[in-house]
Amino acid sequence: MRIGINLITLSTDRFGGAEQYVKNLIWHLANSPENVELFLFLTRSYRDIFPQHHEKIKIIILKDIKNLDKIHEDIHKLQLDLWFSPLHRSYLPNIQLPTVVTIHDLLHVSYPQFVPGQLEENNQYYQAFAPSFDGIITVSNFSKAAIIQHLKLSEEKIYVIYHDAPLFFNKTTNDLKSVNIKKKYDLPDDYALYPASYQPHKNHLNLLKAILHLNHQYHKKISLVLTGFSYKGNIIFQDVIKFIKEHHLENQVRLLGFLPPDEMPSLYKNASFLIFPSLYEGFGIPLVEAMKSQCPIICSNRGSIPEIVRDAALQFNPESPEEIAQSILKVLHPQTRLELIEKGNERGKAFSWTKTVQETLTVFQSVSRKGEKS
């Protein structure tokens, strides 16, 4: 099967969950035993993200992503069997091929104020392209329900396929590397970890309020390590810095920025627990990363998060700093930590790239059998 993969909106400035999903899915598709060829349509800036000389991967460089005639010409010349758009708002008109898209979440519906274009513009965008979707992959039952309810798309076209943490989370983390990473970033012996980009729904300020609440109400000081892409113009990042300075939390909160992905398993291994206070997730890949790292989890009870963790985490109301603080106190108990690690090990078995690839290819094959569009 010759599969065109639409990566024209790929961005690495904040390599978040959707971008990680794409990179890992393509790598595992290419290394599966199935007879597939992957044609990646992307701009020159991002060509080095994917292996250049893999026998199943071909890079199609787009010099002008607005030149739709040239893109359609390339699609025709390559004699593709399927068109796959795995990223948000990357859809192209008049693709004369069976088409599969991935819709990761509908953040714009629950929190329109957090998303460019807000509710009406985003809904109109999906409504315009929805008739061209022959298959829709989404990453949780929570997201599937939202797609059916708000986009009015046929349930029969929607497939829920979980994904997994990057492959290096499934390997035993070298103790020496963990020690070296701890030394490199001057990490404390005990800390809570929150890996997240600085976006409004990631809820950093309520987490910081919970840390402050522990200081004042319980006389308990917790070290917090935050990772994730940031830049000076990011308002949320500036609010976080301001809060830390105003409340004199510099000695408790470490801002590490974006770290190389292969260093993250050591961050989890060294952490006392993952804290995940997000207001909304379509999936929540750090939850799986923590499970694969034997890192206990305390997390929000919103969005897809309860579905992903089930009983393998302590859950809290993410809008209540007091409730977040209470959960932190609970996870510090040694027996609670051990129970969460054990449950995380078991729940983590539900997530596998082998399974993800098999289920994704099944969708591709089912859709492609319907033939080219008229």
pLDDT in tens, 190-212: 999 999 999 999 999 999 999 99
Sorted by where each begins, the domain ranges of the chain are 2-164+353-368, 167-350
- What is the C-alpha separation between 9 and 85, in angstroms, rounded? 10
- Do residues 98 and 368 lie in contact, with contact meaning Cβ atoms separated by under 8 Å? yes
| Cα angle 91-144-12, degrees, rounded to a multiple of 5 | 45
Contacts of 163 (CB under 8 A, 6+ apart): 21, 24, 25, 139, 283, 285, 351, 353, 356
Q: Which helix (H) or strand (E) holds 314?
A: strand 314-316
Instruction: Choose which CATH entry (3.40.50.2300, 3.40.50.2000, 1.10.3720.10, 3.30.1380.10) describes domain 2-164+353-368.
Output: 3.40.50.2000
- Name the residue with tokens 């999906």: 126
Round to whole Å and give the CA distance between 228 and 261: 11
- Tell me, which fold does domain 167-350 have in CATH? Rossmann fold (3.40.50)
CA distances from 116 to 101, 109, 112, 279 (A): 21, 12, 8, 17
Task: Please tell me the pTM assigned to this model.
Answer: 0.94
Amino acid at site 131: P
In percent, how much of the chain has pLDDT > 70?
A: 98
The whole-chain average pLDDT of the chain stands at 93
Evaluate whether 2-164+353-368 and 167-350 have a shared fold: yes
Identify the band that residue 374 occupies on the pLDDT scale cut at 50, 70 and 90.
very low
